Amino acid sequence: MKWITGFLDTPSRVAEPFWEAITGAGLSPRRGPGGEFATLLPDDGDAYLRVQVVGDGPPRSHLDLHVEDVPAQARRVSALGATVVLDDGELVVLRSPAGLVFCLVPWHGEQVRPAGGRSLVDQMCLDLPHAVFDAEADFWSAVTGFERRPGSLPEFDFLVRPDGMPLRLLLQRVGGDEAGMHLDLACDDRPAEVARHVELGATVVRSEPRWTTLRDPAGRVYCITDRPVGRG
């Protein structure tokens, strides 16, 4: 994988101003037949967050994996257990063995991770039911080529990202039967960052010793963590 992009999929544009404010990014011109796609453009470095208006389902997140040869990587990833959902010739939409949707897209030379400020979106957490955790964690390690390691708490593993990669992949053991994804932010002052998000329209779901779970204005869950910006 040459680059990773996090996508915010939402039935409407209601949460886009919130994520612009949170990240300090500008919104690119819209793309797609209905103007459904746009990129959050950081002040420095290469873009790695995008928004998409989707017509159905709850607000959610997904990953785009940027590669040099999409057809070859689609064949490789399919051999690892993924299922092709859509192949439009330029990008391929797939589903992981646990049901997580992701895309393989062309790499266009992105390589500079934004530095961030008081906080930084720097992690995609894959929420995996206990029954499929190990198989799915090994799948994502094989897909990305990133080494899997145990986290600081027993419910977490993570994949070691290369220097400069904008998003780390965290793997979380969860109850239930359905896998999902959510974004995490690193920050140096969690209470102050949570207060900023609430002022901008977020709602606190719960607070843990090391992170706070919130919902954005569209109802999408994400977390603010105590990890220092630029590390992890």
Task: Provide the domain count of the chain.
Answer: 2
* Domain annotation covers residue 52: yes
Q: In the chain, pLDDT over 70 holds for what percent of residues?
A: 99
- Do 9 and 183 touch, CB atoms closer than 8 A? no
Same domain? For 87 and 155 the reply is no
The answer as to whether 150 is a domain residue is: yes
Same domain? For 81 and 134 the reply is no
The verdict on 75 and 153 lying in the same domain is no
In a domain, 230, yes or no: no
Alpha helix (H) ranges present in the chain? 16-23, 70-79, 133-144, 190-200
Q: How far apart are CA 70 and CA 82, in angstroms?
A: 14
pTM: 0.96
Mean pLDDT of the chain: 96
On whether both 185 and 215 belong to a single domain, the answer is yes
Confidence of residue 231 (pLDDT cuts 50, 70, 90): low
Of the candidates 83, 106, 129, which is a domain's last residue? Answer: 106
Helix axes 16-23, 190-200, angle to 10 degrees: 150
Give the helix/strand (H/E) hosting 228: none
Tokens found for residue 45 = 């470095």
* Residue that finishes a domain, picked among 106, 131, 147: 106
- Position 112 in a domain: no
- Is 56 inside a domain boundary? yes
Which domain does 30 fall in, by range? 3-106
Residue from 176, 179, 172, 184 nearest 221 by CA: 184
Domain of residue 202, CATH code: 3.10.180.10
Please tell me whether residues 183 and 149 are part of one structural domain: yes
For the cut 90, the answer to whether the pLDDT of residue 55 exceeds it is no
Backbone angles phi, psi at 198, to 5 degrees: -65, -40
Domain assignment of residue 231, yes or no: no
CA–CA separation, 79 and 225 (whole Å) = 35
Clarify whether residues 140 and 102 are in a common domain.
Answer: no
Are 87 and 123 in a shared domain?
A: no
Q: Which residues 6+ apart lie within 8 Å of 79 measured at CB?
A: none
The domain boundary, picked from 106, 129, 159, lies at: 106
pLDDT in tens, 83-93: 999 999 899 99
pLDDT tens sequence across 173-193: 999 999 999 999 999 999 999
Euclidean distance between CA atoms 69 and 24, whole angstroms: 32
Residues 192, 135 share a domain:
yes
Same domain as 82, residue 17: yes
pLDDT for the residue numbered 60? 96
Retrieve residue 92's tokens: 């391929």
Q: Is residue 113 part of a domain?
A: no
Question: For position 56, what pLDDT does the model report?
Answer: 80
Q: Is 172 in the same domain as 74?
A: no
One domain for residues 85 and 131: no
- Among 43, 104, 96, 35, which residue's Cα sits nearest to residue 69? 104
